[in-house]
């Protein structure tokens, strides 16, 4: 019996060491890619002439639009507010010289995709950034207390990813190259109490993305899901930035270093470290009443103090 227990403990110890080694290698790759920038600059441009970005009027979507234009791609900006899109388009054209197309579309509806398909016709789309999304409430709240716009959230956070991917993936497959970046959230990595709908909708994006990557990797297409934590945007009420909370521009520039690192990434090194720390919290503690009280009190207070609410 003693020999059996000894073998069990040795096996468990080796498994723990292996897991730690894998995490160390992963963090080492992040450090290398972040500081050495080994991704060739023409790589993104080699995917195709055009990049399509949803939710491009603000925040992360706007930052991707500018950064991809700076790296030599023409960009298609899709969002709800035409005035914002036109202003962003003028600035991109003036600062980068890239061509810009704008498409006005409200992703909380599901009858917009035929129009988008028609306006994308004839473009060599090399990159799709599925960024558009909605967060019902920045402050944690119980499901029945959250704003009653469930269908809009599903259309915006779930339907948009499926439909936009469907529009461009067929052409990427025929060209045997392309890059799809799906912007999920750190709250998708495991179910978050008090953010139940948002967490679940973003978890769909994770599962969908990784399944698609398995299907289309052999066809030369990169499909990557990004799971960032705090990024200071309109959706997060422009939270004060710090070592964890990034500006949209910081997050986007760093995330593009990691497009070849694998099918899932937090998008920046600080968020990878945070995700690693959160993964150590036992499930019983994470889903306890005490943790929910912590979210409703301390975390809510932090958000209220740091959100600028422009």
| CA nearest neighbour of 34 among 196, 227, 272 | 272
Buried-state track 277-308, b at ≥16 Cβ within 10 A, e below 16: eeeeeeeeeeeeeebeeebbeeebeebeebbe
Contact 271, 280 (CB under 8 A): no
Contact 240, 232 (CB under 8 A): yes
Q: How far is CA 57 from the centre of its chain?
A: 16
- C-alpha 152/C-alpha 59 separation (Å) is 20
**116: helix, strand or coil:** helix
Helix 113-120 vs helix 160-175: crossing angle, to nearest 10: 30
Terminal CA-to-CA distance of the chain, rounded, Å? Answer: 66
Residue in 195, 198, 216, 229 annotated catalytic: 198
| CA nearest neighbour of 46 among 84, 72, 10, 66 | 72
CA-CA distances (angstroms) from residue 23 to 19, 204, 271? Answer: 6, 25, 14
- C-alpha 219/C-alpha 51 separation (Å) is 19
Q: In this structure, what token pair is assigned to residue 247?
A: 């500006």
Helices H / strands E in the chain, number of each: 13, 9
- C-alpha 157/C-alpha 152 separation (Å) is 8
Query: Does residue 258 carry a catalytic annotation?
Result: no
Q: In this structure, what token pair is assigned to residue 110?
A: 């599901």
As annotated, the active-site residues are 198
């Amino acid at each position: 019996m003693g020999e059996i227990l000894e073998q069990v403990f040795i096996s468990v110890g080796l498994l723990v060491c292996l897991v730690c080694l894998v995490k160390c290698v992963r963090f080492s790759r992040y450090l290398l890619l972040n500081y050495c920038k080994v991704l060739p600059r023409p790589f993104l441009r080699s995917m195709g002439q055009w990049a399509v970005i949803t939710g491009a009027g603000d925040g992360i979507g706007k930052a991707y639009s500018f950064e991809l234009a700076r790296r030599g791609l023409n960009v298609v900006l899709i969002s709800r507010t035409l005035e914002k899109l036109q202003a962003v388009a003028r600035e991109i054209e003036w600062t980068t010289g890239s061509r810009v197309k704008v498409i006005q579309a409200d992703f909380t509806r599901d009858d917009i995709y035929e129009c988008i398909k028609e306006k994308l016709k004839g473009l060599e789309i090399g990159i799709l950034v599925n960024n558009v999304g909605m967060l019902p409430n920045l402050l944690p709240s119980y499901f029945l207390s959250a704003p009653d716009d469930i269908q809009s959230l599903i259309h915006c956070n779930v339907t948009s990813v499926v439909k936009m991917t469907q529009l461009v993936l067929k052409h990427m497959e025929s060209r045997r190259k392309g890059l799809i970046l799906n912007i999920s959230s750190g709250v998708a990595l495991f179910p978050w109490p008090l953010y139940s709908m948002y967490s679940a909708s973003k978890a769909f994006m994770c599962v969908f993305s990784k399944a698609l990557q398995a299907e289309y990797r052999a066809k030369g297409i990169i499909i990557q899901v990004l799971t960032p934590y705090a990024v200071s945007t309109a959706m997060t009420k422009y939270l004060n930035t710090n070592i964890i909370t990034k500006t949209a521009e910081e997050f986007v520039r760093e995330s593009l270093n990691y497009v070849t690192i694998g099918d899932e990434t937090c998008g920046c090194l600080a968020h990878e470290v945070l995700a690693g720390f959160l993964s150590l919290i036992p499930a019983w503690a994470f889903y306890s009443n005490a943790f929910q009280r912590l979210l409703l009190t301390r975390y809510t207070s932090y958000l209220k103090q740091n959100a600028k609410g422009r």
